[in-house]
Amino acid sequence: MQKMIEVKHLTKYYKDFKAIDDLSFFVKEGEILGLLGPNGSGKSTTINCLLSLLHFKNGSIQILGREMKPESYDIKKQIGVVFQEVAVFEELNVYENIDYFCGLYIEDEETRKKYVEEAISLVGLERYRKFYPKQLSGGLLRRLNIACGIAHKPRLIFLDEPTVAVDPQSRNNILEGIEKLREKGATIVYTTHYMEEVEILCDRIIILDKGHIIAEGTATELKEHANIEEKITVEGLKLTKDQFENIRNLKNVDKVRFVENVLTITYKSGQNNISVLIEFLRNHNITYQSIFSERPTLNDVFLNLTGKELRD
C-alpha cells in the first residue's frame, strides 16, 4: 500500500523551545492515523509542519511521494484540512461558506454544486443551509467547519481536534461522518486528546508527549505494551493502612491507588481477580458502594508510560 505521508526526523523549535523532537512516522493510504497526546504535546505543530504552515529546522516531509513545500499546489489540491479553530465567514451562510472553500479547489460550478450538497448531507446540515454561523450552535458550527474542509473530496484529510467542545449528538454525527470518509477511501490524520475517539476510529495510533513519539501501534498493541490485564475500581469505601497494605499483597496485584474513597487496582495477569477482592472486602467487613472491572484504556497506557494522565 502507498505511503501517503512519510515524515523523517522532523524537528521544530519555537525560539529555544523544542516543540517537535526528531519525529519520524508514516501514514498508509486508506488508514486513519490517530495522533494522541495531551495539550502541548506537539500534535497541532506536527500538522502545521506537514501542511507547510510552519518552517522546521530539520527533517523531511513527503506527501503523496513528493516533498511538501509551501508552493506544492498539486499536492495541496488533494489535501483537506479541518483546523481546531472554526474558520468560516460570519457574513456567509452555511451553503455559501462551503461553496467558497470548495471553490478554492474546484473551479467547475456544476461539480462544486454537487460536492457542496454531498458535504452538507455528510455532516447533517441539510436543515441549516441558509443559516449564518452566528445562528448555529457550537456543535453545528464544528460540523460546518468539517464540511468546509472536506467538500472537495480530498484523498488526504487532516482533522485537528474536530470534536473539541461539542455536544454528544454532534460528536456522534462527526464520528459517523469520518467513518463514511474512510469508507470512501480517504486517508485521515486525526489528532485528539479524546482516547475513546481514537480507539473507535483509528487503525493506528501514535502517542506524543513533549514533541516525541512515546508509543506507536494499534490500540490492542499499545495496551499489550502497557502490560495491564485488568483494572478494578471500588467506590465509596474506607480503608485502614493495614487493610491497604493487605490489598497490595493480594495475588496478581500490580499497582494500588486509594484517593478520596476510591480504590483503583491494576492487575498484570490472572483470572477471578474481582472474586478474590470481593471476598477480601467481605472478610474484613469493609463496606462499599460499587465495584467494577474494566479492560485498560489508552489513558492507562499513557499513565503507565509517562506517569501522568492524558488530560493533565
Grid coordinates given for 127 = 436543515
Query: Hey, which residues does 255 pair with through a beta bridge?
Result: 266
Q: Could you tell me if 305 and 207 are in contact, meaning their C-beta atoms sit under 8 angstroms apart?
A: yes
Q: Does 71 bind another protein (CB under 8 A)?
A: yes
Sheet architecture: strand order including 262-267: 253-259, 262-267, 230-235, 290-294
Q: Does 190 bind another protein (CB under 8 A)?
A: no
- Window 124-153: contact mask with another protein (x via CB under 8 A): ------------------------xx----
Q: Which of 20, 51, 116, 136 binds another protein (CB under 8 A)?
A: 51
Q: Which of 25, 56, 83, 128 binds another protein (CB under 8 A)?
A: 83
Q: Which is nearer to another protein, 99 or 199 (CB)?
A: 99
- In the complex, what is the shortest distance from the CB of residue 149 to another protein, in angstroms, rounded to a whole number? 8
Q: Which of 49, 79, 188, 219 binds another protein (CB under 8 A)?
A: 79
> What gap in Å lies between CA 180 and CA 299, rounded to an integer?
27
Q: Does 77 bind another protein (CB under 8 A)?
A: yes
**Per-residue CA distances from 210 to 42, 225, 302 (Å):** 7, 20, 13
Dihedral sign of CA atoms 50, 99, 186, 82 in order? positive
Q: Does 25 bind another protein (CB under 8 A)?
A: no
Length of the chain (residues): 312
Q: Which of 70, 138, 185, 270 binds another protein (CB under 8 A)?
A: 70
78: CB partners within 8 A, 6+ apart: 64, 154, 155, 156
- Return the amino acid letter for 312: D
Count of residues that bind another protein according to CB under 8 A: 30
- Window 91-130: contact mask with another protein (x via CB under 8 A): xx---x--xxx-xxx-x-----------------------
